[in-house]
Amino acid sequence: MTYVKFNNTPVAKSFGGLVEEIFNGANLNKFIKDDFNTADFFGAHPPVNILETKEAYVLDLLVPGLNKEDFKISLENKVLTVSAEREKEAETKDENQKQIRREFSFRSFKRSFTLNEQVDAAKIQAKYENGILKVTLSKKENIQDPVKAIVVE
């Protein structure tokens, strides 16, 4: 039988020692510092769901806390770019109030998608509702070339 050592800590720990390890451990501090304590909780860009139907592609971007005026959507060289920027609100000073903690953040993002030949650029639509930006990319109608008889000479 081989003895495998998992860690150097004793088996019996006090409750205080266990709590201290959980809240002051390097892993938790790194997790909180890197994810929750940053100005951009979602990472470099907001998460997106992409759905394809017979008529269109639909992009759903999760961007809560913004207004529809904050978004800028552009199409250039078959690249659709969705971005948003929100100005930081002016802080009001009140002698009766003292802010203890501030976790609300004002973030900006920019995300690009390369479109294929099927997308009709003239029929792109966007709608912002309940924290989700829905961009509908209509597909071009399949117009086939007429059948042409070719004479062999």
Per-residue tens of pLDDT for the chain, all 153 residues: 555 555 555 555 565 665 666 666 555 554 444 444 444 445 567 899 999 999 999 999 998 888 889 999 999 999 999 999 877 666 666 777 777 777 766 678 899 999 988 899 999 999 999 999 999 999 988 766 677 777 887
Rounded Cα distance between 90 and 81, Å, is 29
The alpha carbon of residue 92 and the mean position of all alpha carbons in its chain are separated, in whole angstroms, by 30
Q: Which two tokens stand for residue 49?
A: 């769901």
Q: What is the pTM of this model?
A: 0.60
Rounded Cα distance between 88 and 9, Å, is 46
Residue-range domains of the chain with CATH: 12-41 (no CATH), 43-87+106-142 (2.60.40.790)
Q: Of 65, 114, 104, whose CA–CA distance to 85 is shortest?
A: 65
Rounded Cα distance between 123 and 136, Å, is 8
Assess contact for 57 and 134: CB atoms under 8 A.
no
